Amino acid sequence: MSDSTQITLPQIESGSAPNVVLCSTDLMLISSVGGAAEARGFTFTSVNTLQAAIDNATTAESIVCLDLSAPFSDPHGFATSASPELLARSIAFGPHVHTAKLEAARDAGIGRVMSRGQFVSGLATHFGSSDR
């Protein structure tokens, strides 16, 4: 019954600091997102696979940020593997000219979909304070 290609969901940890997980290979973006997340009380992890994103989103308030320009980015694959709660909290972003990729993320049910410029300019507001 075990399928080796199936992505498995991690157990949700309670009492842990929420994590922002960035799926991107852009070094400048990694630094910017990490700083913004940590300033809001989140831990930060950068990954380069969808499975690693799922594995690191282990708290009830974790947020996955999916860079649609990353070669491993697959919004539908992510959507079929993420819990409905994680999917609703996730953010997908990409170049504004890549309308098909942005629309695919919307169609996959990712909670927030925006251009890369909107994502970067709103870094201070994308992550609510973790001390709720």
Q: Tens digits of per-residue pLDDT, 26-64?
A: 999 999 999 999 999 999 999 999 999 999 998 888 999
Q: Quote the pLDDT of residue 129.
A: 55
Q: What is the pLDDT of residue 90?
A: 96
Q: What's the confidence (pLDDT) of residue 59?
A: 83
**Which residue ranges make up each domain of the chain?**
19-123
Per CATH, which fold does 19-123 belong to?
Answer: Rossmann fold (3.40.50)
Q: How many angstroms separate the CA atoms of 14 and 33, rounded?
A: 24
Mean pLDDT by 10 residues, the chain (132 residues): 45 65 94 94 93 89 94 92 93 93 96 96 82 40
125: Cβ–Cβ under 8 A, 6 or more apart, which residues? none
Predicted local confidence at residue 3, as pLDDT: 46
Determine the Cα–Cα distance for residues 60 and 73; give it in Å rounded to an integer.
23
Q: Is residue 132 exposed (0-12), middle (13-18) or buried (19+ Cβ within 10 Å)?
A: exposed
The count of other CB atoms within 10 Å of the CB of residue 93 is 27
Q: State pTM to two decimals.
A: 0.83
What is the structure's pLDDT at 17? 78
pLDDT of amino acid 9: 44
